Amino acid sequence: KIALEKPETLSSPSLQNLTQDDLKKIAALKAVEFVESGMIIGLGTGSTACHAVARIAELLQQGKLSNVVGIPTSKKTHAQAVQVGIPLSDIEHHPIVDLAIDGADEVDTYMNLVKGRGGSLLREKMIEGACKKFIVIVDESKMVEYLGASGAMPVEVVPFCWKYTADRLQALFQAAGCVAKLKVLGNGDPFVTDNANYIVDLHFEKGIGDLNAASDLILRLPGVVEHGMFLDMATTVIIAGSRGITIKNK
């Protein structure tokens, strides 16, 4: 486990009485202050990251940033970035990404994350794993004592015999009271990821426990593509809360 620098808190009485989306936007705008002209930027996915994408586009339009290339982490973010005019590429052409900015579903004390409740974890992990710096932007509701505390940890699986894979995932964590459920749309059809896979959500009654051990066990299972634990990947977490913005660095 890694010792973290003392977090810096910028207190602001004006952050009281804001909505969760306002807080997400505040965290996103703070993160975009770290974007510099000429950077290759990983563009995250979700309702927090989309504020960062919009802000980068705004700064490009105003001429306050130039020569920025975005690497979108999902088809949805790709569409948003095209719409707002951010030049795009991918990690085949830019295997080293200067900075990625993305939201998270959970952030623990050690800056480990659960991501992918929006279903984009595979591309997010590939791109954010290629980054020199990875800034995670969250409102304070995402901070947890341990991963798995506030909801599911998603696992991307191949559709072939997905139920067999789901059953084996659940069995791996029986002692932690794990229940595996296929992620479905409102009409009951399976949610299909950008890479044409399914998502099995793992619900842990008692938390995930040893994260590295859980990661190894999951990734060894045939049928699993990737999981939503992002361990030791975030370099900075920006948390917007009612008492101000907190910035944690590794």
Least distance from ligand 5RP to the Cβ atom of residue 104, Å? 6
| DSSP-assigned beta bridge partners for residue 247 | 8, 238
Task: Using CB under 6 A, list all residues that contact ligand 5RP.
Answer: 44-49, 102-105, 115-121, 124
Q: Any residues with CB less than 8 A from the CB of 60 and at least 6 apart, and which?
A: 66, 68, 85, 86
CB of 6 to ligand 5RP, least distance (A): 26
Is 124 a catalytic site residue? yes
- In the complex, the smallest distance separating the C-beta of residue 228 from ligand 5RP, rounded to whole angstroms, is 7
Catalytic residue among 106, 124, 128, 156: 124
The answer to whether the Cα torsion of 163, 169, 175, 176 is positive or negative is: negative
Nearer to ligand 5RP, 39 or 114 (CB): 114
Question: What is the smallest separation between the CB atom of 133 and ligand 5RP, expressed in angstroms?
Answer: 17
Sign of the Cα pseudo-torsion (108, 4, 245, 99, in order): negative
* Amino acid of residue 54: A
Q: Which is nearer to ligand 5RP, 115 or 168 (CB)?
A: 115
Q: Which is nearer to ligand 5RP, 105 or 226 (CB)?
A: 105
* Closest CB to ligand 5RP among residues 52, 168: 52
What's the rounded Cα separation, in Å, for the pair 138 and 130? Answer: 21
- Residue positions annotated with a catalytic role: 124
